[in-house]
Structure 1
Amino acid sequence: MMVRICVLTNAKSGHNRKGLARLAARLSAYGAVTHYVTRSPEEARALMPVLYDAAPDVVIINGGDGTISATLGLMLEHWRAETLPLVMLLPGGTSNMTAGDIGLASSPARALDRVCRWLDAGAPLEGGDIRSRHIMRVTGAADGAVRYGMFLGTGAIMQATRFAHDKVHSRGLRGEWSLGLTLIRTLWGLVRQDRRFYQPTPVGLALHRPETPPVCRAEAPMIILVASTLDRLFLGMRPFWAQESGSIGLTAIRGGAERFGRTILSVLRGRLNRHTTPGNGYESFRTERIEMYLDGELNLDGELFMTGGGQTPLVVSVEGPIRFLRPPQ
């Protein structure tokens, strides 16, 4: 029986703006593939009932981190988790951090070549690398919208995001190189306590895991706070070292953290050294649900949004998991 494959392309994602015609031409050669192109969130939402009725075995999402998270959220709204199709990710965006962990983490051209080799082989569902990840569901924003994503950050993450938009992406730099330049500049600003980057954000936390009491942290100024359901962030970073179970990794670094310059590289690798302690301002957790109390802005897979205020918790929970397929090289 022929495998049914649907490809969803965001025409406005970074790399897709120039490569869409070539991608569409190559995919048109395969009868098992139905290719949909969207240009707005409204078009993507309207497509979901059509996609559900098509009952694909594999959904290939071609876009950046924001496109991937929004599409996965829409899929979770239409499918029960246990009936979701396999998902494959093409790096069609500007940064492609999600594709770097669970997708085809090469250049868009090489990723498309890999998909076509898989299609030429009959699109086998066995023999590839299948990994499961949960998706974060985020509520409590100022606009009342429900959001989905796989990376959430605040504190210096916000200053880094603005620097990337203003100084890096505006010059045409994309991919992990652009993220690497942004990381270096941000860390240098934090080490020097440059006010353009060193702006601690007061955050209170309540962390929940099944069958255990909540872990609560009183409001404290954070220079970095990141939460993710990915195993690997960009440039191979794994900044979560907690050993307990939980689908969400969370790392928090307080303002004034001791020996920051000597410790931050260990934090980014997820490898403790003798300075990486709660007493020195470094904490990492694994959890299933987070309540954040803060008044400010956050980055969810590249989308910036405001919280509902310090008294309204921003609630981060998990849905899924979703199974991601990477075909053989």
Structure 2
Amino acid sequence: MKPRIGLISNPKSERNRKGLERMRARIDAQPEIIHRELAPERPLDDILRELAGAGIDILVCNSGDGMVQAAMTSLLEKSIFERPPLLAIWPRGMANMTAADCGLRSRGWSSLERLIAAANADRLDEIRLRRHVLRVDYRDDRPVQCGMFMGALGIYDAIRICKGSVHKHGFKGEWSHAITLAGLLAGSLFRGLEALGIDGHDVRLRVDQGELLDERLLLLLCTTLDHLVLRSRPFWQTEGGPLRFTRIGHPPLGLVRNAWKVLYGGEPRRLPETHYRSLGAGRVELWLDEPFTIDGEFFEPLRTRPVRVTAFETLDLLRV
């Protein structure tokens, strides 16, 4: 029996605003696919319940990182499915960082065709990836969130700058990431990060069952992805657990000089350990005083309690 595919499209995702209309007829012509679109009267969880009732085997998210993050949260936290389906991420958003690492390999129709062909030929095991997923418990009056990347401090500021200054000039996707990174490094060299609106933050943190640490940091990130924007790998010495946790102190010693090693260096990185720290963990607790991001979506923590990040649960994704 051929696997049943549920496809959820977000019409507001960057690539779907113009391209979805052309694809609807192609999608509807595929008998294996149950296609639904997000709408105010049809929220994500309602669609997921319908697809669970239909017995789908594969869930395709035709969207950007934001809807993927919401879908992961629903799959792992709300018990909509008895067992989560295989997840395929069709990169049709602005950034698509998650899809670039563990999703379908292109945003075109051919990517979905390859997925359908693999499903019909019983080759899904050949394209299956099992990935740990972040679980972020950040306040008592809000639901837990799941995703693949959590960033705070300077990363939150950089995303804000990218969305506010770079996107409005027409630069999207990887171009916007490259321009933002280059601008921040140049600004750091010639003007200082403070002139760009990026400053240090006093953060209390704990890794696993270790001691409480009070540090002044430029940025921090937690992820289970193998690569981030621009195929970077800003994590090292990560044998201690599935959660990759990197933090950079403030002021950052030799930020411009060390940027390549931080983003693309091998092992060992030979970075100043007092300012550049990375490790693998099972649990990280963070006391934050400003919003943080999970896969591009922003969340507001409480100063009175820690943000608790773990990565013990997994999802199976399809990459073809």
Q: Supply the distance in 2 between the matched residues of 1:175 and 1:105 (Cα, whole angstroms).
A: 15
Quote how far apart the aligned CAs of 1:318 are: 2.3
Quote how far apart the aligned CAs of 1:252 are: 0.3
Contact 2:238 2:244 in 1 (8 A): no
Superposed CA offset, 1:79-117 (max 9, x none): 4999322111101110000000001243x22xx212124
Quote how far apart the aligned CAs of 1:320 are: 2.6
1:139 match:
137
Quote how far apart the aligned CAs of 1:48 are: 2.2
> Taking structure 1 as reference, are residues 268 and 122 closer, same or farther at Cα in structure 2, changes over 3 Å only?
closer
Q: Name the amino acid aligned to 1:123.
A: N
* From 282, 287, 308, the counterpart of 2:276: 282
1:167 match:
165
Q: Does 2:193 match 1:194? A: yes
1:226 match:
221
Quote how far apart the aligned CAs of 1:55 are: 1.8
1:211 match:
none
Quote how far apart the aligned CAs of 1:291 are: 0.6
Quote how far apart the aligned CAs of 1:299 are: 1.4
> Taking structure 1 as reference, are residues 10 and 285 closer, same or farther at Cα in structure 2, changes over 3 Å only?
same
> Taking structure 1 as reference, are residues 122 and 321 closer, same or farther at Cα in structure 2, changes over 3 Å only?
closer
> Taking structure 1 as reference, are residues 80 and 98 closer, same or farther at Cα in structure 2, changes over 3 Å only?
same
Quote how far apart the aligned CAs of 1:270 are: 4.4
Contact 1:7 1:33 in 2 (8 A): yes
Quote how far apart the aligned CAs of 1:125 are: 4.1
TM-score by length of 1: 0.89
Q: Name the amino acid aligned to 1:320.
A: E
* From 223, 226, 234, the counterpart of 1:239: 234
Contact 2:242 2:312 in 1 (8 A): no
Contact 2:52 2:81 in 1 (8 A): no
Q: Does 2:318 match 1:325? A: yes
Q: Supply the distance in 2 between the matched residues of 1:216 and 1:42 (Cα, whole angstroms).
A: 46
Q: Supply the distance in 2 between the matched residues of 1:81 and 1:222 (Cα, whole angstroms).
A: 40
1:182 match:
180
Q: Partner of 1:22: helix, strand, or coil?
A: helix
Instruction: Count matched residues.
Output: 317
Give RMSD over aligned pairs. 2.3
2:24 match:
24
Contact 1:156 1:186 in 2 (8 A): no
Q: Does 2:261 match 1:266? A: yes
> Taking structure 1 as reference, are residues 4 and 159 closer, same or farther at Cα in structure 2, changes over 3 Å only?
same
2:147 match:
149
Q: Supply the distance in 2 between the matched residues of 1:216 and 1:272 (Cα, whole angstroms).
A: 27
Between 1:182-191 and 1:236-245, the stretch displaced more is 182-191
Q: Partner of 2:174: helix, strand, or coil?
A: helix
Identity %: 32
Q: Partner of 1:145: helix, strand, or coil?
A: coil
> Taking structure 1 as reference, are residues 123 and 168 closer, same or farther at Cα in structure 2, changes over 3 Å only?
farther
Q: Supply the distance in 2 between the matched residues of 1:169 and 1:283 (Cα, whole angstroms).
A: 31
Q: Name the amino acid aligned to 1:286.
A: G
Q: Partner of 2:193: helix, strand, or coil?
A: coil
* From 296, 321, 324, the counterpart of 2:290: 296
Contact 2:238 2:278 in 1 (8 A): no
Quote how far apart the aligned CAs of 1:222 are: 0.9
Runs (5+) with no aligned partner, structure 1 = 209-213
Quote how far apart the aligned CAs of 1:259 are: 2.1
Q: Name the amino acid aligned to 2:193.
A: D
TM-score by length of 2: 0.91
Q: Supply the distance in 2 between the matched residues of 1:183 and 1:266 (Cα, whole angstroms).
A: 14
Q: Name the amino acid aligned to 1:4.
A: R
> Taking structure 1 as reference, are residues 303 and 267 closer, same or farther at Cα in structure 2, changes over 3 Å only?
same
Superposed CA offset, 1:192-233 (max 9, x none): 42312431121121111xxxxx23352211112111111111
Q: Supply the distance in 2 between the matched residues of 1:70 and 1:85 (Cα, whole angstroms).
A: 15
After the TM superposition, which parts of structure 1 deviate over 6 Å for at least 4 consecutive aligned residues? none
